[in-house]
Structures are given as C-alpha cells and as structure tokens.
Amino acid sequence: MANEPLFCPHLVSVLADKTLGDVITKKYKSVVAWNAYRSLQVNRQNKRRKIAAPTCGTCDTPLSRPMACLQCPYAGCWQGGHSVQHLTQHGHSFCADTKTGYLFCSECDDFIYDPKLDSMHLEAIVSADAKQAKFLLPKKPREYYKPWVPNSQEATVLEGAEAISCQRRRGLLNLGQTCFLNVVLQCFVHNPLLRNFFLSDKHNHRQCKLENCTSCEMDKLFSEIYSEDPKPYGPITFLVATWKASPELSGHAQQDAHEFFISALNQIHLTSRGSTNVSCNCIIHSTFAGQLQSDVKCERCGNVTSTVDPMLDISLELRGKGGEAVPVENTLGACLRRFTQPEKLSPKEYSCGKCGKAAHEASKRLSIRKLPPVLSFQFKRFEHKTNNKSAARKIDTPIRFPASINMAPYTSLTVKDSGKDLSSPTHPYPGPESMYEYDLFGVINHEGQIDTGHYTNFARFQDEWYRFDDDKVTPANLNACLSSAAYMCFYVKRHLDYKPNSTPSYVLTRENEALREKEMEKEKEAARMKEVEDDLLSMV
C-alpha cells in the first residue's frame, strides 16, 4: 500500500453512473458493516474460535481480513495476490479491505482515497455498533449517527478546498535528546479527541493573541502532521514553548516522558479558551479528566469517610507492598487490582470523626469514581531514593497489557463488592457494559537505563499499528505493540458519553466575548451621550 492515498478518476466515473454507483456503494457499506458486526461479537464473546472466518475464494485459506470484490460475491487474500488476480481476470475494478475500509483500484494498481468513502465507512461502522450496543434506557432507542452537513456559511468557507484523508504518519526529528517529547506528541496526534478538536480549528494559532501558547503549538503540530510534506518535522517551537513554561524540562539532558506529558496537559489547559479552575470543560479536561475516590474506613465503628480528587492519569506500582518486584501477575489488571486494594493506615494517619478514637486500625481504599474518555496509565519504572540520588534505577519488570480493557471492576460503583468475582464477564455491573470498555491506541516504551535510555512509541490509526522512533516510522502490528516494554499506555473509551445540551467552553467564551463587546459599545455610547449633554449644559 502506498504511503499516501490517491484520488481515483475511475471511482469518480463509476460513482457518477447511478446504477453502477449504487451497486458499488451498497456492497461497500455491507462488507464494512459485516466486519464491524463481527468485531463486536469477538470483543463481547472473547471466543475467537467460535466465530467462523471466511476463506479465500481461490486458495481456500481462512481470512482474518478478507479483500471483498465490490462487483461480485468473491472474497480473497491480499498476501497471496488472489484478490488482485480476480479483479484482473474478471474485469472488475474495485475490492475493499473489510477491516480498514481501504479501497483498491485495479486500474490504478493502488489503494485510493475518496471523501465519500470516508463518510460511508464511518456511517456503516457507527450504525452497526448502534444496533449492538446496550444502554441504560433499553426502551428508548439510541440517538442515531448523523453525518456532518455543512451549512451555508461553512460551505462558503470550504469553497475551493480540497479534501484530504484524515490520517498521516510523519516522523519527528530528534532535536538533541528530545525523544521524550516526540513520543508524547505522537500519542497526542493519534488521540482521536485531540485530533478532532484541533483539526476542527477550535484553536487557531493565527488568531490567538497569547504569548508562549502551548495550544497554538498543538495547532501548528497538527497542521504540520497533516500537511502534504512527507519529510520528518522538527517541533522546534514546541520545544522552546516547553522550556519557557517548564524550566525544569529545559536543556538537552535526559527528561522523563511522563513529566513532560503532565506539563503539556497543564499548559494546554491554561492556554485553552474558556479554561477555569473549577468544572473546566476545556479540551484537556474533556479528554483526560476523571475522578478518584478515597474511602477511609474506621475498623472499630465502621464509619467511612470519602473524598473525591481530580485525576488526569493513573500511576501504577510495579512492586508489591513490601517493595519486591511483582513475581507472577505482572499485568495491567493486576496493577489496577493492587491500586484499588484496601491499605492499612497507622493510628497517626487517621482519627475517626465518629467515635473520636485515634489509636485503632483504619483502612484506605482507592477507586475510580468517574472514568474519563481517555485513560492514560504510567508504570512506575524509575525508582528515586530521597537520601541517595545516585541509587536511582529502572525497574525492567515486563508488563502485559491488553488491546481492550473493561474498567468496571475498578470503579467506585463496583469496588465495594470485594467478596465477588469482579473479573467475571457475567458479573452484573451497574449500567451497560459499554460504559466501561476501552481500546488501546498508544504505547510509550523506554529502552535502556535512566541516564542512557531512549523513548519510542507505538500508535494506532483505525486498525493499523505503527512504530515511531523519532524520524523513523515503520509499519507494526498489535502483537509487537503488546509485547513491548510499556512505560505509558493510552486507552480511549469505545462509546463516548456526551451531553447534547451542553455548550463547549470555546463556544461559551466566544458568546461571552460578544456580550462584553456589546456592553463596551453601550458604555462608550453612554459616555459619548454624557459628553454631549455636558457640552450643551455648559453652553447654557
């Protein structure tokens, strides 16, 4: 497959023919919807062997991702070349990868791109998903997907614009031990919520008046990544903005990717339009913000004191309570179970407000009260002893993490049922299962030791995985990603929650600015009238 999808005149002419175009589009939608439905069944049943895979019409090989001809019932393999051979022999023009929706044209001898296909692909997947998902109100149908149709004002702005594919893979230059910055930026670029926000021009660096604005740097980054320039890009201005905002990250020494991640989130939040300190719905808090609940229980009287704190990510220990490395359950699930296990407190740490006794046992338990749209996990691989900085070292314990995870066992609603098997798929979690399902889209890896290490990362677009090593971008697969030594993992919610009646902060800000401008005009007019009145009185 070529690095960049191409516009195809053959597809344009076929779609112009209503009869043949209807046949092609109908078959395209059906094969994409079939694969979406099949994937949903695999995810829910978690029994891949029970779902039969289609076979190649030429070599009879089972196909994990069949290439379906759009002009006949044939489906074949790509690696063996049988799908292309079929198109040539039968004079057919197009076949589609049912997994990704990519279309191959036999006349172009390449994969092609058309904006109509993007819309069809998204509509087919969302429609298939909507028919399978279960929600809180079973009697009330889920709101169906509505494709975006530009209004008259948007159509005027878009006049003469050329549609491009919303996928780009562009390496980032190492500017002097800046691999820590590059891996985080690549995970930002492949974060679907951040991508949709900045590609929708919600923050325009040409109109922003702030100095050293990290949101402007994000806008520039997306503009560069999605430009037609295939050469690696050097994020120089982003690095300079980081140094100014976070002096502790300045210079060309080894830096921590997680530390830069948190710093970048804070700076994007501070420079977002409409950001607030309380109940902020800027792009960062709308994407990463969740809530942690801490329950402290008095073992004498049973009184429970709960506090809720905001969170942008979750840091997980790789060592047991005694400081030993994890011997057996070195998995993300095991780390989360340890994270939500009760922990005994010393008498000096807690005094019960109900029974008023300090010298007794108490336990503290963490749980996730509110799940964010994007979950970011950090594994604590770097040990720093306060008394001896030279004793800092890296924990190389391998961690297994899944391609998808159900977060229900670690939420405040279910963590209290400690006597039940919360890992069981039949456990009745509160609400629909879709509330808790997350899919992996990015992983940051660290190779080597603390002072001589190097960061790389994996990132996913749709079902395609790629490995990023600064300016080098290579195709990868899910197995390579899952077997890597993860330092940070990023998961996106499979079904996003939304409030149809809420107004984004950037819209509220624009409305407030318009109101302030009107008020200022009224004040100026009142002041002008007052001057005229004073002049008239002085003349009298």
pLDDT tens profile 130-182: 766 655 445 555 566 677 788 888 888 888 777 666 667 899 999 989 999 99
Tally of domains within the chain? 3
- Asked, for residue 338, whether it belongs to a domain, the answer is yes
489 and 410 inside one domain: yes
Distance CA 297, CA 295 (A): 6
pTM here is 0.77
250 and 308 inside one domain: no
Burial grade of 412 (CB within 10 A; 0-12, 13-18, 19 or more):
buried
Confidence of residue 277 (pLDDT cuts 50, 70, 90): confident
- Asked, for residue 66, whether it belongs to a domain, the answer is yes
- 60, two tokens: 């009879």
**Are 369 and 306 within 8 A, CB to CB?**
no
Express each pLDDT in 369-389 by its tens digit: 999 999 999 999 887 665 554
Distance CA 478, CA 320 (A): 29
- Asked, for residue 359, whether it belongs to a domain, the answer is yes
What's the pLDDT at 65? 79
**Are 252 and 177 within 8 A, CB to CB?**
yes
128 and 191 inside one domain: no
407 and 450 inside one domain: yes
42 and 127 inside one domain: yes
Distance CA 32, CA 263 (A): 40
303 and 236 inside one domain: no
298 and 447 inside one domain: yes
92, 205, 360, 454: the catalytic one is 454
- Asked, for residue 364, whether it belongs to a domain, the answer is yes
Domain encompassing residue 489: 290-493
394 and 488 inside one domain: yes
- Asked, for residue 150, whether it belongs to a domain, the answer is no
Distance CA 269, CA 312 (A): 12
226 and 300 inside one domain: no
464 and 318 inside one domain: yes
Rounded mean pLDDT of the chain? Answer: 81
- Asked, for residue 262, whether it belongs to a domain, the answer is no
Kindly give, in sequence order, each residue whose CB lies less than 8 Å from that of residue 304, ignoring residues fewer than 6 positions away: 295, 296, 297, 298
Q: Is 179 a catalytic residue?
A: yes
- Asked, for residue 517, whether it belongs to a domain, the answer is no
105, 179, 216, 489: the catalytic one is 179
Q: With a cut of 50, say whether residue 423 has pLDDT above it.
A: no
Express each pLDDT in 284-307 by its tens digit: 999 999 999 998 888 777 778 888
- Asked, for residue 443, whether it belongs to a domain, the answer is yes
**Are 136 and 144 within 8 A, CB to CB?**
no
Percent of the chain with pLDDT over 70: 78
Distances (CA, A) of 192 to 196, 198, 232, 374, 460: 6, 10, 22, 9, 10
Q: Is 454 a catalytic residue?
A: yes
Percent of the chain with pLDDT over 90: 37
225 and 342 inside one domain: no
CATH number, domain with residue 73: 3.30.40.10
- 107, two tokens: 């006349």
436 and 306 inside one domain: yes
CATH number, domain with residue 326: 3.90.70.10
Segment 34-39 mean pLDDT: 76
